[in-house]
Amino acid sequence: MGGMKPRHQARRVINWVNLSTPLGLLIARVGGATVRRGDLGLVYAHGYRIPFPIAGAFTVGNVILTKHPDGFLHGRLLAHEARHASQYAACLGLPMLVLYVLNLTLSYAVTGDLASWNVFERMANLEDGGYRRCPPRWRR
Ligand SMILES: [Zn+2]
């Protein structure tokens, strides 16, 4: 793995040990996705066939999954999803899923949108992820 920065190497190891990457690989397998090695120690899973969650792409551990064919994961969206991989490492893996759902619920309650007030999506950059920035319900 030449050229990978120490923090990407660390993220890769941490997300393996905390089981979030193995879970991502399992989800990719169940969803019939084609898995290959990506940049920065990430794993790309294209052609995911389960219509949940509803997103252009989503990340579990170091695995970035999308229903789209190979080539879809690049640029700002890839940078956005890579930030989620770092969030898994920071959350020690699977607790991230619980925290993410709590954030999604909070965001929906406040704004009617699943991402606008979701801390994880905000820190990964809403616009890079293709999300809108909705104001709280009481501001409309
Ligand atoms: Zn996101």
Dump pLDDT digits (tens) for 112-137: 999 999 999 999 999 999 999 999 99
C-alpha dist (Å) from residue 103 to 6, 7, 55: 30, 26, 16
Quote the ligand 1 centre to 100 CA distance (angstroms): 10
Cα dihedral 48, 87, 117, 23 in deg (nearest 10): 30
**How far, in Å, CA of 37 to CA of 127, rounded?**
26
| β-pairing verdict for 43-46 and 58-60 | unpaired
If you compute the radius of gyration of the chain from its CA atoms, what whole number of angstroms results? 15
pLDDT digits (tens, 9 = 90+) for 56-99: 999 999 999 999 999 999 999 999 999 999 999 999 999 999 99
> Residue 3 above 80 pLDDT?
no
User: Is 70:34 a contact under the CB 8 Å cutoff?
Assistant: yes
Tell me, what's the pLDDT at 2?
A: 57
Share of the chain above pLDDT 70, in %: 99
Q: How far is the CA of 84 from the centre of ligand 1 (A)?
A: 7
What is the distance in A from the centroid of ligand 1 to the CA of 108? 15
How many angstroms is it from 121 CA to the middle of ligand 1?
5
| pTM of the predicted model as reported, rounded to 2 decimal places | 0.94
* Residue that is written with structure tokens 């619920």 in the block: 105
